[in-house]
């Protein structure tokens, strides 16, 4: 059987050791004769597991003590609503830095609430989101916060450093597709959120990291969307997604065994470099993304010929290189190289691309 | 090692065969060499799995074609908010039948929205929720819907038949703790919702069954809370909780193999009868719940002596009878006997209680 490599943008590949461990103990968690899927969220079995997951994440990201960590549901998309409801409580005005589809979705959901002034303060739309905005000039300084997307999953761009011009502003970041894969200082942000199905674990969990003094300022929010109520109840205001939290905990343990985020980032640099170098030297394939803004985790590429793209995707799939189709909004191909994606998979892809290039030179 | 029985009210015991199947195929779903936790929600692997889960649930509950089935996140508690936002769009008035803690939580969350008139149209609070309300007199008929809880998980009451006085009203039901364990006609309801962690599968999934002509009447809702948008996207408006949906699908398959809801209900009658009969004949233990309103799935009981209750719970735990502690709001003990809870576990409990009664007669 051909070995397969899963380039999916999410739900994405998980560390093999993590899946194996989950499999081994699926019928009896910590010798309890109960599956982790069956344990009560009011039991010590759960509490210990939950607390360890939280501690490990705090350690891995060096999250200061004055930040709460919440384990929520609904994905980043629900956070597009929840963040404004909780944080836009003073000026009722939010600035959005627009660097791609998910940045847009974030401010569109804020607009839907009809409660806030929603300003797009900078955008790279004119360059078709193939690059980022690095300088922001705020005409109005009265923002409750400025929102940005650290890694644009579809367009393949990534902030290594935050844009200039944001001094004194509270920054909120959607880190869904590069949390734990690239080092950031949590201190630079008022709030960070991320869907789990890329670098954290499985779909159905959203991690929110929020500076404690920013929350608890709005009353009458729906309880499930109230960060303060959730923080006060250690994210167990109602039944939390126990299994998804368990899987995140296993991934955090695995990350610690891999020497943490800095080591992961080094590996991610190596993996992505391998593919970018090939792309930049290929006469068939190319990266549409500006060099200094390229993502470590999501790498779109094209041949420039739609039919050839399709042929490539079909042949790659047959060769066990799965889920390389680009997002429908941008077309082409995309390789997502999250933390759990192995270096040998990138080598396999580049080898396959070289062969394909040779065979299809004249096209 | 003592065999354990898990009486947890949720997350609760799952069918052994289901856990075994999940374990067997956890590293390779349908021969894909990918875990079901790793598959893309845009892949055919996912779509087929999702569609089968939906079809099986439709079959099991005989859900008519004019109802949509949604797989959501956030638990019943988020539905306490989402249902009013979507359905209370005409009169902006909702009637609530108050039969316990979760009924209360439902109308409290509706009140928090400050958009609707929230009327408690009937309540059994005066009898401490040890019975239900069977007759409702609506002074105002202009309700968008009337909400009830079919099974009160904490208090141990259950509607076998809907209350009288609701003719012509749209009925919305929280069925979290007895969906698929007791037969209801879906046609009697405008909307049914249920957290998955009792009879459906694992925590992190909420099933919503809604008559299609009731939705799509409100604009500008947050997308994640908009039933119409969710229905139009087959619940994949963003990344759905793939693994939780997979587990629900396995439970639905298992239920079909057990001959469906009617067979489950018969078994639930047998299991609960065994315990109720003992309780009614015991000189130590008793059920606080009015006979005709007793739940099939959640059975509270007490000795009348708090210290003796605690002693019982401690000794039962040592004997492998786990999670029998009653909810903090009512104290005492509670045995939750969901579909996956085996008859032999009830026998083990009754045997243990008999022995405990003998030993503690003089207390």
pLDDT in tens, A72-113: 999 999 999 999 999 999 999 999 999 999 999 999 999 999
pLDDT 10s digits, B274-284: 999 999 999 99
Least reliable range by pLDDT among A169-173, A200-204, B139-143 = B139-143
Res A1 pLDDT > 80: no
Query: Hey, are the CB atoms on B37 and A202 less than 8 Å from each other?
Result: yes
Query: Which residues of B are identified as catalytic?
Result: 102, 174, 198
Binding region of A for L-glutamate: 42
pLDDT band at A276 (very low <50, low <70, confident <90, very high): very high
A2 pLDDT tier (thresholds 50, 70, 90):
confident
Mean pLDDT, residues B165-192 taken together? 97
Q: Could you write out the DSSP letters of every residue in A241-308? A: -HHHHHHHHHHHHHHHHTTHHHHHHHHHHHHHHHHHHHHHH-SS-B--S-GGGB-SSEEEEB-S-HHH
CA–CA separation, A330 and A129 (whole Å): 10
CA distance A101 to A176: 13
Within 10 Å of residue A263's Cβ, how many Cβ atoms? 13
Q: Is B281 on the interface with A (CB under 8 A)?
A: no
Element (H, E) at A122: strand A117-123
Residues of A with active-site annotation: 102, 174, 198
Percentage of chain A exceeding pLDDT 70: 99
Reply yes or no on whether the pLDDT at B363 is more than 70: no
Residue-wise pLDDT tens digits, A149-164: 999 999 999 999 999 9
Interface test with B, best of A5, A11, A27, A235 (most B CBs within 10 A): A11
Contact call for B224 and A78, based on CB within 8 A:
yes
Distance CA A224, CA A235 (A): 9
Tell whether the model's pLDDT for residue B258 goes beyond 90.
Answer: yes
- Facing residue for A204 by CB, picked from B3, B39, B241: B241
Top residue of A41, A199, A203, A246 to mutate, by most chain B CBs within 10 Å, is A203
- By CA distance, what is B39's nearest residue in A? A11
Tell whether A204 is within 8 A of chain B (Cβ).
yes
Mean pLDDT across B252-256: 98
Decide if B164 touches A, using CB distance below 8 A.
no
- How high does pLDDT run on average in chain B? 97
Domain B260-359 fold: 3.90.1150
Query: pLDDT tens digits, residue range B81-106?
Result: 999 999 999 999 999 999 999 999 99
Q: What is the pLDDT of residue A363?
A: 59
Q: Does A262 touch chain B (CB under 8 A)?
A: no
Nearest CA in chain A to B76: A238
- Nearest partner of A171 among A99, A101, A83, A89, judged by Cα: A83
CB of A237 within 8 Å of any CB in chain B? yes
Within 8 A of A78 by CB-CB distance, chain B residues are 73-74, 222, 224
- pLDDT at position A141 is 80
Tell me what the mean pLDDT of segment B26-43 comes to.
Answer: 97
* Bond into A267 cis (ω within 30): no
User: How far apart are the C-alpha atoms of A174 and A149, rounded to whole Å?
Assistant: 5
- The confidence score (pLDDT) of residue A49 equals 98
The mean per-residue pLDDT over the stretch A13-19 comes to: 98
B75 part of contact set with chain A, CB < 8 Å: yes
Q: Strand A145-149 and strand A93-98: pairing?
A: parallel
Min distance B215 CA to chain A CA atoms (Å): 18
Count residue pairs from A and B with Cβ separation < 8 A.
193
Question: Which of B20, B204, B225 minimises the CB distance to A241?
Answer: B204
- Listing DSSP states for B11-75 in one string gives S----HHHHHHHHHTSSSGGGSSS-TTTS-TTSHHHHHHHHHHHHHHHHHHT--TTEEEEEESSH
B246 near B36, Cβ under 8 Å?
Answer: yes
CA distance A76 to chain B (A): 8
What residue ranges of chain A are covered by domains with CATH 3.90.1150.10?
260-359
Residue span(s) of chain B under CATH 3.40.640.10 come to 17-257
Note the ipTM here.
0.98
Contact B222 A32 (CB under 8 A): no
CB contact under 8 A, B33 and A3: yes
Question: Token pair for residue A109?
Answer: 């959901």
Which residues in chain A have their CB less than 8 angstroms from residue B73's CB?
73-75, 78, 204, 241
Q: Which CATH number fits domain A17-257: 3.40.640.10, 3.90.320.10, 1.10.10.10, 3.40.50.720?
A: 3.40.640.10
Question: Please, which residues 169-198 of chain B have a Cβ atom closer than 8 Å to chain A?
Answer: 195, 197
> Given CB atoms, is B45 within the 8 Å cutoff of chain A?
no
Pick out the residues of the known binding site of A for pyridoxal 5'-phosphate: 76-77, 102, 153, 174, 197, 238-239
Q: Are A237 and B113 an interchain contact pair (Cβ–Cβ within 8 Å)?
A: no
Cis peptide before B163 (omega within 30 of 0): no
Supply the mean pLDDT for chain A: 97
């Amino acid at each position: 059987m051909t070995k397969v490599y899963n380039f999916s943008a999410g739900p994405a590949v998980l560390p093999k050791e993590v899946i194996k461990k989950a499999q081994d103990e699926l019928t009896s968690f910590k010798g309890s004769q109960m599956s982790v899927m069956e344990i009560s969220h009011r039991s010590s079995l759960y509490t210990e597991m939950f607390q360890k997951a939280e501690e490990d994440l705090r350690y891995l990201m060096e999250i200061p003590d004055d930040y709460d960590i919440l384990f929520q549901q609904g994905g980043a998309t629900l956070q597009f609503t929840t963040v404004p409801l909780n944080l836009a409580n003073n000026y009722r005005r939010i600035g959005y830095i627009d660097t791609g589809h998910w940045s847009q979705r974030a401010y569109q959901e804020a607009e839907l609430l009809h409660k806030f002034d929603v300003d797009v303060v900078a955008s790279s739309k004119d360059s078709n989101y193939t690059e980022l905005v690095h300088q922001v000039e705020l005409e109005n300084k009265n923002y409750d916060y400025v929102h940005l997307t650290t890694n644009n999953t579809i367009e393949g761009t990534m902030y290594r450093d935050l844009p200039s011009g944001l001094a004194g502003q509270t920054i909120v970041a959607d880190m869904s597709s590069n949390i734990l894969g690239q080092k950031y200082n949590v201190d630079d942000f008022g709030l960070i959120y991320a869907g789990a199905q890329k670098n954290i674990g499985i779909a159905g969990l959203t991690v929110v990291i929020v500076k404690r003094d920013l929350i608890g300022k709005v009353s009458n929010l729906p309880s499930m969307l109230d960060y303060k109520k959730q923080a006060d109840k250690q994210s167990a205001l109602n039944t939390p997604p126990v299994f998804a939290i368990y899987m995140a905990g296993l991934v955090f343990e695995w990350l610690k065994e891999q020497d943490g985020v800095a080591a992961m980032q080094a590996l991610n640099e190596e993996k992505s470099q391998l593919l970018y170098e090939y792309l930049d030297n290929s006469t068939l394939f190319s990266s549409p993304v500006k060099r200094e803004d390229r993502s470590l985790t999501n790498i779109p590429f094209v041949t420039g010929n739609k039919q050839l793209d399709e042929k490539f995707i079909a042949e790659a799939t047959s060769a066990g290189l799965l889920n390389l189709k680009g997002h429908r909004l941008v077309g082409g191909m995309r390789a997502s190289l999250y933390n759990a994606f192995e270096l040998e998979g990138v080598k396999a892809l580049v080898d396959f691309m070289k062969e394909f290039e040779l065979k299809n030179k004249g096209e």
